[in-house]
Amino acid sequence: MITDIHPPTVNFLAGPYIDRRTEAREQLHWEDAARNDLTTRFILAVGLTQLVISQDTPCIAFVGAEHPLVQSTPSEHWLLLGWFQGSRCVLVQLETIHSIDTSTALITTAEARFQELRPLVALLNEAEAGLLAYARAISYWQQRHRYCGLCGSKTSIQRAGHVMHCSSVECETVFFPRIDPAIIVLVTNGECALLGRQRTWTTGRYSTVAGFVEPGESLEDAVAREVLEETHVAVTAVCYHSSQPWPFPSSLMLGFMATARKDSIARSSSELEDVRWFTRTEISNGVPILPPKTSISFRLIEAWFNTDAQIALSDLPHIRR
Ligand SMILES: [Zn+2]
DSSP 199: T
Q: Which residues pair with 244 in a beta bridge?
A: 253
Q: State the pLDDT at residue 269.
A: 86
Strand 155-158 and strand 59-60: the pairing is unpaired
Quick one: pLDDT band at residue 318, thresholds 50, 70, 90?
confident
Q: State the pLDDT at residue 6.
A: 44
Window from 7-16, 118-127, 273-282 with minimum mean pLDDT: 7-16
Q: State the pLDDT at residue 282.
A: 95
Rounded distance between C-alpha atoms, residue 223 and residue 314, angstroms: 26
Q: Is the pLDDT of residue 102 over 50?
A: no
Q: Which residues surround ligand 1, an ion (CB under 5 A)?
A: 148, 150-151, 153, 166, 168, 171, 173
Å from CA of 124 to ligand 1 middle: 39
Rounded distance between C-alpha atoms, residue 1 and residue 297, angstroms: 23
Q: State the pLDDT at residue 2.
A: 47
Q: Percent of the chain at pLDDT above 70?
A: 92
Q: Which of 20, 18, 27 shows the shortest CA–CA distance to 160?
A: 27
User: Which whole number is the average pLDDT over 19-43?
Assistant: 96
Å from CA of 178 to ligand 1 middle: 17
Q: State the pLDDT at residue 113.
A: 87
Å from CA of 158 to ligand 1 middle: 15
Rounded distance between C-alpha atoms, residue 222 and residue 219, angstroms: 5
Å from CA of 171 to ligand 1 middle: 4
Q: State the pLDDT at residue 97.
A: 55
Length of the chain: 321
In terms of pLDDT, which residue wins out, 5 or 226?
A: 226
User: Which whole number is the average pLDDT over 87-102?
Assistant: 76
Identify the three-state secondary structure at position 136: helix
With residues binned 3-state (H G I as helix, E B as strand, rest as coil), the percentages for the chain, rounded to 5, are 25, 30, 45
Å from CA of 155 to ligand 1 middle: 8
Å from CA of 169 to ligand 1 middle: 8
Quick one: pLDDT band at residue 109, thresholds 50, 70, 90?
low
Å from CA of 146 to ligand 1 middle: 11
Residue 313: Cβ within 10 Å count: 22
Å from CA of 139 to ligand 1 middle: 20
Window from 4-13, 81-90, 305-314 with minimum mean pLDDT: 4-13
Rounded distance between C-alpha atoms, residue 251 and residue 4, angstroms: 30
Q: Is the pLDDT of residue 271 over 90?
A: no
Cβ neighbours of residue 75 closer than 8 Å, sequence gap 6 or more:
31
Rounded distance between C-alpha atoms, residue 147 and residue 139, angstroms: 15
User: Which whole number is the average pLDDT over 126-136?
Assistant: 97
Q: Is the pLDDT of residue 1 over 50?
A: no
Q: State the pLDDT at residue 297.
A: 97
Å from CA of 176 to ligand 1 middle: 14
Rounded distance between C-alpha atoms, residue 285 and residue 266, angstroms: 22
Q: Could you report the per-residue pLDDT of 226-235, keeping only the tens digit for each?
A: 999 999 999 9
Cβ neighbours of residue 37 closer than 8 Å, sequence gap 6 or more:
65, 88
Mean pLDDT of the chain: 91
Q: Which residues pair with 180 in a beta bridge?
A: 251
User: Which whole number is the average pLDDT over 168-179?
Assistant: 97
Q: Is the pLDDT of residue 198 over 90?
A: yes
Å from CA of 168 to ligand 1 middle: 6
Residue 260: Cβ within 10 Å count: 21
Å from CA of 164 to ligand 1 middle: 11
Å from CA of 141 to ligand 1 middle: 17
Q: Percent of the chain at pLDDT above 90?
A: 82
Q: Is the pLDDT of residue 220 over 70?
A: yes
DSSP secondary structure string for all residues of 202-224 = PTTB-B-EEEEPPTT--HHHHHH
Identify the three-state secondary structure at position 25: helix
Å from CA of 28 to ligand 1 middle: 24
Residue ranges and CATH numbers for the domains of the chain are 22-143 (3.90.79), 147-177 (no CATH), 180-320 (3.90.79.10)
CB contact at 8 A, 257 and 306: no
Å from CA of 94 to ligand 1 middle: 25
Å from CA of 172 to ligand 1 middle: 6
Å from CA of 156 to ligand 1 middle: 11
Identify the three-state secondary structure at position 319: helix
Å from CA of 162 to ligand 1 middle: 17
